Each structure stands twice: as C-alpha cells, then as structure tokens.
Structure 1
Amino acid sequence: MSAARTGTGQRVVVVGGGIAGLAAAHRLLDRGARVTVLEAGTRLGGKLVADRIEGVRVDLGAESMLARRPEAVGLAREVGLADRLQPPATSTAAIWTRGALRPMPKGHVMGVPGTADALAGVLSDEGLARIAREADLPPTEVGDDVAVGEYVAARLGREVVDRLVEPLLGGVYAGDAYRLSMRSAVPQLFRAARAHPSLTEAVRAVQGQTAAAAQSGPVFLGLEGGIGTLPLAVAASVTARGGEILTGRAATGLRRDAEGGWRVTAGDLVLPADAVVVAVPAPAAAGLLAAECPGAAAELRAVEYASMALVTLAYRRADVSLPQGSGFLVPPVDGRTIKASTFSAQKWAWSAREDPELFVLRTSVGRYGETEVLGRDDADLVEVSRHDLREATGLTAAPVAGLVTRWTDGLPQYPVGHHARVARIREHVAGLPGLAVCGAQYDGVGIPACVASAYAAVDQLAGDPRGVQRLTADPVQSLHGGAGE
C-alpha cells in the first residue's frame, strides 16, 4: 500500500484509547499524521488504571512491565516518565501449595524447571523422580504448535504443570495451561524445545539466554504512582502535539469511501480518514470489520476471553506482619479461591512511602472458565480474599478499606493455533489499503507486546512489513504486565 497513507498531513483515525491505541497515535504523530482517537468509554488506558485507596496510589490493573523488551519502557521515557521508572524493591516470591508458603523455585521458564533442584515440598517424591527420568525419554516433536500443559506433562509429569506452570501462566493469561499455545504463550521455550532433544535441556538453554540478558538491568519495571499513569502521559503527549482524543465516542461503523479512503461513524459523528487503526478488543473489532473485512471479523469472533477480578485491601501497618517478598502464587489444584496475592507495600518502594501508616496489598481471583466465583458480590470477594490470606499468612486483621476491580472478558486466550489465526487476520486486513489492527489479542497480552503491536500497525500503514516481522521474530513474547498479573 502507499506510504503516503500515513505521511505528513494524512488523516488517521485510531479506534480505541487503551495503551495500544494511544501508542499507535503517538507513533503516527511522529510520522506527521493528523490523528483522532475514538474511545467508547469515559476513561483512557484500557486495563491500565491508576487510582487511590485511603489516599494511597494503587494500580487496579497491570502493575509492572517487562523491561527486557524496549517498547513500553521506551514509550514511558518518550512521554516524560523516565525519572519515575522503578524496579521492584523485592523480586522474591512464594508459592502457596501443600498447605504452606514455599519459596518460588529459581531457574524455571514460566514454571517449567530445568532440574528437580529446590522443588522438594512443591512436588512429591514421585514428581521429582519424574523430572529426573525425562532425559531417558525419546526426543519429541512439538510440531507447528502444542498446548503448554500437554507437552510439559508428557515430558515432566502433570505435577509440574499443576503446581508450577498453571500458577505462572494463570498470572499472565488467567488461562488453562492445558489449552494455551506453547508457541504463542511461551515462544522462547517453544523454539528451544524444537532445537533440543529434551525439555529440561531446552529450559536450560533459555535460562542461559535470560542470564545473559540479566546483565543489562532489571527484568521488570514499574512507575512511581502506578503503571496506570502511563496511558495518561501518552494521551497528554498526543494532545500536546495536536492529536485529538474523543472519549465517550464508540465507533459504530467503518466503511470504505468512493475515493479509496475510510469513513468512521461514531454516533452522529462521521470522520473521513486516509487510514484507520483498529485497537479495540476482538468482539468490538469484529463488529467494526464485519462489513469491509468479513474474513478477519469471523476470526476475531472466535477469540475467547477470561474474566478476573482484583481485590485491593488497605490495612493499618501496625496490624500487618507478612512474610518477606513480593507476594505469592496459588496453584488451582490446591482448591483455593484466590490465584495470587501481591504485597504492594513490600514490592514497590513508592507504595510504602505513600502513607507509612498503611499497608496495601491485593489479591486476584478468576481463571478461564470460572464463572461462579466472579458472580459473587464485592463484599464476598473481599471476604474470600481475607479467608485465603489468613490461611496462607496468618493475617487476621480487618482491612480499613477494600476495593474490587472486575475485568470482565479482560484477557484474550491464546489456544493452540493462535499464531495461525493471527496470521489469517493480518492477511485479510492487509488486503484493504489504509487499515491495520493492534492490541492484546494478537501478539502478547503484556504492555510491551501491546505497544509493539501498535508500532507494527503503524509500520504496516506506511508500507513497511518489517514491523509484523519483528513481532513474530521477537525472542521474548511471553509477557507479564497484563491485568492478570
């Protein structure tokens, strides 16, 4: 397609004011385009939300971003947040399993261990022996794609999946490890598994790459005041440079015009455009694309989502005595309600400084297919969180405040074959000049992946296919930082 579509002075409408849409708008302005962002809600940022509880600033969505990918950290710096980037004060985490909090084992890739070392207590004796026998198994082929849980269970046993992989993947996707695509959810391990005869060898190979990357700085970074401040800073930069952002304006129609451009309808507003970036979740994107790109719309309608909730609790610090570390994860096989807890006041130094008399923590509830627990009212979710916290840590004090944030259909699922579905969507979209898509449903649910997806969409509009090629070639696609973290 013509690069002039997003050249100087070209009109581009971005549908969606989440981090992907705002990042696309920011990059388009760098290219000299005239940009209008349409956001259906009254708030920008999508699943990145900063708020307060008892006066203390908190994140009600993702709270950190992978720092070893450059896109999100780079964007934060571009919009003036460089001095607010902070690593966690502690990265030590635990796993609550078999009735006790146990140190999270080191040396794993999304819960898949390279050895049986340091897994006693988390796994049974048989589970440990099963890992040791993996080297004797014949080499296996992962093929074009395979479910993470299916492959790991075949090589290392179901205990590894149920007690290590599930809680880690659940923190990112709120998904089912036995359904999630290894190629899309843990691509670096997928590639290594294709190159090594055993899974443990593949894990150790990835660990070697990770150790080399660790020399360059922290794995994760947050922002003082919360990751939810990032989209607000990007939006401020967009408007300061002449971009237009309209909230409370849901795009309801997208059609080609007689001159080969586009018309975007939002209620009584009709916006002509030379190009359009669709940066909304799959169901909304499917509705917009149905008339002009029915093939992509059909694929998008098949994307499934998981729902979850975050329960943020504030305690009097004098009432709290918790284990050291950033929090803990919970394997679903143990039958608990919460799937994780983050001790925010211990994980983030800025949170601890907000009010020395308060201690803020949060729990997360809900995985793919779980509907009963998310149907409970807010007071019930606070109580079940308190119950599990008491069982895990001995915390009996009553919080001084509680806040429940529900993310209904918040996390897209990446089942086996997801990469092929995304390729088909992009193939359909590529047939329409001046149209691009981006967001969490394509190449990763983490913040850097969403920003990278936005940049690739802008590259596509400019006639540069390397953006999408860079997405598919990136060695680190399995990302923390989504709302389910």
Structure 2
Amino acid sequence: MNTDNVDTARGRVVVIGGGIAGLAAAHRVLRAGRSVTLLEAAGRVGGKLQAGEIAGVPVDLGAESILARRPEGVELARAVGLGDRLQPPATATAFVWTRDALRPMPKGHVMGVPGDPGALAGLLSGEGLSAVARDRELPPAELGDDVAIGAYVAERMGREIVDRLVEPLLGGVYAGDSYRISMKAAVPKLFEAARRHTTLTDAVRAVQAAAAQAPAGPAFAGIAGGIGRLPLAVAEAITAAGGEIRTNTPVRGLSRRPDGWEVRTDRGALHAAAVILATPARPTAELLAAESPAAAAELAAVEYASMALVTLAFRRADVASVPAGSGFLVPPVDGRTIKASTFSSRKWGWVDEGAGDLFVLRTSIGRYGEEEYLDRDDADLVAVSLRDLGDAVGIAAKPVATEVTRWTGGLPQYPVGHPARVARIRRAVAALPGLRVCGAAYDGVGIPAVVADGWRAADEILATPTPAPSTVSDE
C-alpha cells in the first residue's frame, strides 16, 4: 500500500480521459496549484488528435485544424509553447463536388446557409436559386425551443441548398444528418438571429455583420508538424509542472466517499478530492450509473457516428490534375462513398515542405448511419477512395503509400433537443459534490469548444471547497 501525503491527496483532482478536453482541464487545474492525476485507458493521450506520418511525411491522422476565430484552442497552443508553430492554411479555395463537377465553394454563408443567393450561381440549379430567393417572400417562421437545421432551411430556402451545401458542411463537422441536427446546438448564433429576424437571409447577414466586427485574421489555423502535437505538448507541460499522467489505465468504477471520491482502476484504487470525467458519453454513463442514474440515462442516449480517414501519398508528377485549392466536400445526395477530400500538400505549407517529390491528400468516409463502411478492410477503403478521386480530379496513378485511420464512435450527434439534454445532465451532475463532466458530447465538437468545456469543468472544481481528509491512500 502506497500512502499519499494527506495535504496532497486532499486537493488532488483526478481527470479521467486523456483527450484534449481532459488534458485542458488537467492543465488548468495544475496551473491553479492543485495536484492532478490524469488517467487514460489507451496507450497514448490525444483522443481524436493524432500525429503520424506517411512515407516519412508528417501528417495528422485525426483533426487537422483549429477554428482560430474562437480563441480557446489558440490560447492553449500558445500556453504550451506552440505559438510560433501556428500556421494559417496556405489556401482558402475549396470546392463542392456535385453533379459530376467540382464547383467553387460559395462565399457569404453561415454553415452553408446563404446571405446572398447570387453567390450560389453554378452550385444550384435555376429552380434551387429561385427557392432560396423565396425566403424573403415567406412569413416569419416559429422556431420554438429548437429545430433541425436542415428541415428549417429547407422550409425557408428549399431542399437543394440543404442537400448541396448545408449537408456536406455539417457532415464534415459532425458526420451527421442535417435533417436531424439541432440548429440551436450546431449553429447557435444563427438560431438566435433567426428568432430575431423575419427572414433567414437577414439572420445570416446579421451573423456575418457581427463576425465582421471581430479582429481580422484567418478563420482556421494548423500547427506545423500537425494538430496532433497539441495534446503531446499539453501532456509534457502537465508532467513538467508535477502532474501525473497514467496511460493504459482504464477506470472501472467510481464512488463517493466522505472525503471525496474513490476511482477504481485495473492497477488499484485512487482517492481524489474531486473528479473530472472527460470521457465519451457511454463510458461516462457507465461510471455514473450508481451515483447519478438520471445523468447516466441521459448520457447513454447520446448517439455517435463513426468515420475513417484514408491518407494517400502519390508521386507529385502523377497528380498534376489535382486543382489548386484545399480540397472538396461531397454532398450525400450525389451517392459517392467519400464525403470529403483534403489536398494536404496544398492546404498546409508544413506538409508540402516535408513531402519533397510526394503529394499527400486524404479522404474521409462515413456518416451517421453508415457504420457498415468501417467494416470494410483497409484495401477496400483505399480502393473506393481512389475510384472517387479518379472521378473527381482525374487521379489515375497508384499511391506510393496509404494509411487508414478508423475513428469508431468518434463524433457525438447533436439532434434536436440536445441542448436541453445537456442541461439535464449538468443539473444532475452538479448535485454530486466535487464532480464535473466535459468533452465533445456537450457544447461543441471543435477543438476550441472542447478546450473551453475542459476549462469550465476545471474552474467549477477549483471553485468548490475541498472536503476534509480522512486516512488517505492509494492501493
């Protein structure tokens, strides 16, 4: 039995989950002077942020960019010494591959909802353009407490704009179905603006006007060497400051005790003054089943989508047909297998510099309800990616290297009613002294949103008085 120092254990916070939410929470708690132990079931930290390589070229095998107009992700990167490695994309040009052609991504929209119907010429049919313009002729719509963004936009502007633009954009973020996704959860600023304005077009313009008041700068940023460097740098900062990170340590149980919490792992039990659960919804539900059945039931109802990333390296001379730009999105209505492709060597200067005579790109496969694609073997996923790339941009060559990364259950779904569900979860959890939850399952799946949620959980724990210690030990 290894007995802790009582003062240290009295204030120790155990963070369960080593994705970017858990790491951000642990880093925040540690900087406030509290003792931190982070437990991660996998053999590495980072969750869906993972750096790797293909044919010797550094690449991201998970998320590849940070929304830079929201500050939390950039602030965390700077706090752990990566500020000088932040880079904007080398190009902002992108396409939509629809009706058998690459069409320029229109400007002047909010998650695909246009503020200027004229910008959609070439993407929509004449009938589709007319449907978008009819928004101004319709009476105001009643949104209620929440509404599916696809259904609402289709009602105001027709299905074509949803199917050709809103759906692929939301699919890229959530791998979900826009006709199910909560407008309030996924595009909250647009939801609130739509409640204040008589037309959806005016609501979009109001959101754009507000955004124009923000400081100028790129909308997105990457990190030289990959966004996957961010969790590694945060982990290094935690351990350098005296925090503890234990990988390959799944948590099997969680229970309250008079002086805090007992956290049970395969390697024994730990005592904690407070616990932050930064795990996906289902394992969080399992850990809370005994202590908060109400929160557990809500968490167990959160659905997830799975996806795969297929990273491909070609000889540069073999892919001269790839157009200038960062890549393209694919509307599901077109019946293709891939949902997007990123031309990594064009989008990120650091990839291009490290690739030499190689050209790196990647495709993504899998939307909500399409998990069967992930049951295919790697060779099949590579083959369908090459088939679609051949049709889209004329690639006929074989790649010199391939890498398939599966993210099973990687993206939580935000259907109508999700914000209300999150509120119920948080109320139930708040009744448990010294415990908070955070992560992508709650208020946003992007890196800044997840970091912000980790910080919120940490701040709430820091504001809670620590319990008086009893005999404290780890077994």
Please state which band the TM-score falls in when normalised by the shorter chain: over 0.9
Contact conserved, 1:9 with 1:33, CA < 8 A, in 2?
no
Residue by residue, what CA displacement relative to the aligned partner does 1:195-239 show, whole Å, maximum 9, x if unpaired? 1000011011111122232x4211101000000000000000000
Q: Is 2:280 the partner of 1:255?
A: no
What residue in structure 2 maps to residue 336 of structure 1? 336
Aligned to 1:325: 325
Q: Summarize the alignment of residues 227-266 of structure 1 with structure 2, pairs less than 5 Å apart.
A: 227-257=227-257, 259-266=258-265
Quote the residue 2:417 is aligned against: 417
Q: 1:475 matched to which residue of 2?
A: none
Opposite residue 129 of structure 1, the aligned amino acid is S
**Which residue of structure 2 aligns with residue 310 of structure 1?**
309
Residue 7 of structure 1 contacts residue 462 of structure 1 at CA under 8 Å; is this kept in 2? no
Q: CA deviation at 1:463?
A: 3.0
The secondary structure found in structure 1 opposite 2:239 is helix
Look up the equivalent residue of 1:296 and give its one-letter code: A
Question: Is the CA contact 2:29–2:462 (under 8 Å) kept in the aligned structure 1?
Answer: no
Return the alpha-carbon distance in structure 1 between the equivalents of residues 143 and 272 of structure 2: 44
1:60 aligns with 2:61: yes
In the alignment, what sits opposite 1:468? none
1:369 alignment partner, SS class = coil
Q: Secondary structure at the match of 1:372?
A: helix
Question: Aligned residue for 1:226?
Answer: 226
Q: CA deviation at 1:123?
A: 1.1
The answer on 1:162 being equivalent to 2:163 is yes
Q: Counterpart of 1:439 in 2: which secondary structure? A: coil
Secondary structure, in 3 states, of the residue corresponding to 1:442? coil
In 2, the alpha carbon distance for the partners of 1:355 and 1:99 equals 30
Q: Structure 2 matches for 1:151-230, cutoff 5 A?
A: 151-213=152-214, 215-230=215-230
Give the conservation status (yes or no) of the 8 Å contact 2:305–2:371: no
Give the corresponding residue for 1:460.
460
The correspondence of residues 112-131 of structure 1 with structure 2, limited to 5 A, is 112-131=113-132
1:142 corresponds to 2:150: no
More deviation, 412-421/215-224: 215-224
Other structure's SS at 2:143 match: coil
Alignment of 1:288-299 (within 5 A): 288-299=287-298
On the 8 A contact 2:46/2:231 being kept in 1, the answer is yes
By how many angstroms is 1:28 displaced? Answer: 0.3
Cα distance in 1, alignment partners of residues 120 and 216 from structure 2:
28
| Aligned partners of 1:306 and 1:408 also within 8 Å | yes
| Unaligned ranges ≥5, structure 2 | 1-6, 465-475
Amino acid at match of 1:295: A
Give a deviation string over 1:90-137, Cα, whole Å, max 9, x none.
011000011100100000000011122132232111110111111110
Q: Distance in 2 between matches of 1:221 and 1:166?
A: 23
2:9–2:271 contact (8 Å) kept in structure 1: no
CA contact (8 A) 1:16 1:38 kept: yes
1:432 maps to a residue whose letter is L
Q: TM-score, normalised by structure 1?
A: 0.93
Which deviates the most, 265-274 or 112-121? 112-121
Cα deviation digits, residues 399-421 of structure 1 (max 9, x gap): 10011000111000000000000
Aligned amino acid, residue 148 of structure 1: I
Amino acid at match of 1:216: A
Q: Tell me the alpha carbon deviations over residues 136-189 of structure 1, each in whole angstroms, 9 at most, x when there is no partner.
A: 100011111000011000000000110010000000000000000000001111
Q: Distance in 1 between matches of 2:140 and 2:122?
A: 29
Cα offset, 1:260, TM superposition: 3.6
Q: Following TM superposition, by how much is the alpha carbon of 1:372 offset from its aligned partner in structure 2, in angstroms? A: 2.7
- Correspondence for 1:271: 270
Mapped to 1, the partners of 2:270 and 2:363 lie a distance apart of 42
Q: Distance in 2 between matches of 1:431 and 1:439?
A: 19
Deviation track 1:324-378 (CA, whole Å, cap 9, x = no partner) reads 1100000000001100000000000010000221110000000000133222111
Q: In 2, Cα distance between the equivalents of 1:81 and 1:116?
A: 40
Matching residue's letter, 1:386: L
Is the contact made by 2:93 and 2:105 (CA closer than 8 Å) also made in structure 1? yes
Say if 2:279 is the partner of 1:280: yes
Q: Matched residue of 2:311: which SS?
A: strand
> TM-score, normalised on structure 2?
0.95
Structure 2 residue identity aligned to 1:372:
E
Distance in 2 between the 1:63 and 1:33 partners?
32
**What is the CA distance between 1:9 and its match in structure 2?**
6.5
Distance across 1 between alignment mates of 2:328 and 2:180: 24
Amino acid at match of 2:20: I
Contact 2:10 2:273 in 1 (8 A): no
Structure 1 position 460, deviation (Å) = 1.4
Task: Give the letter for the 2:229 counterpart.
Answer: T
Question: Is contact 1:66-1:219 (8 Å) kept?
Answer: yes
The one-letter code matched in structure 2 to 1:220 is F
Percent identical pairs in the alignment equals: 68
Contact 1:94–1:328, Cα closer than 8 Å, also in 2: yes
Q: What is the rounded CA distance, in whole Å, between the counterparts of 1:136 and 1:218 in structure 2?
A: 35
Match of 2:392? 392
Moved more, 287-296 or 173-182: 287-296
Tell me, in whole angstroms, the C-alpha distance in 1 between the residues paired with 2:371 and 2:205.
Answer: 37
Distance 2:38 2:292 in 1: 21
Q: Secondary structure at the match of 1:445?
A: coil
Whether 1:85 aligns to 2:60 is no
Map 1:358-377 onto structure 2 (within 5 A): 358-377=358-377
Structure 2 residue identity aligned to 1:426: R
2: CA distance, partners of 1:101 / 1:348 = 21
Question: What root-mean-square deviation, in Å, do the aligned CA atoms of Structure 1 and Structure 2 show?
Answer: 1.3
Mapped partners of 2:122, 2:69: distance in 1: 31
CA contact (8 A) 1:7 1:31 kept: no
Task: Please state whether the residue corresponding to 1:96 is helix, strand or coil.
Answer: strand
Alpha-carbon displacement from aligned partner over 1:441-467 (angstroms, at most 9, x marks no partner): 000000001100001101211338xxx
CA–CA distance in structure 2, aligned partners of residues 136 and 154 of structure 1: 12
Q: CA–CA distance in 1 between the matches of 2:93 and 2:19?
A: 31
Cα distance in 2, alignment partners of residues 269 and 391 from structure 1: 55
Question: Do the aligned partners of 1:167 and 1:331 also contact (CA within 8 Å) in 2?
Answer: yes
Alpha-carbon distance in structure 2 between the residues aligned to 1:436 and 1:355 = 43
TM-aligned CA deviation for residue 8 of structure 1: 11
Cα-to-partner distance string for 1:40-61 (whole Å, 9 max, x where unaligned) = 0101100000001000000010
Q: Which runs of 4+ in 1 moved over 4 A?
A: 6-9
Unaligned runs of 5+ in 1: 1-5, 465-485
CA distance in 2, matches of 1:8, 1:349: 46
Contact 2:344 2:362 in 1 (8 A): yes
In 2, the alpha carbon distance for the partners of 1:277 and 1:132 equals 48
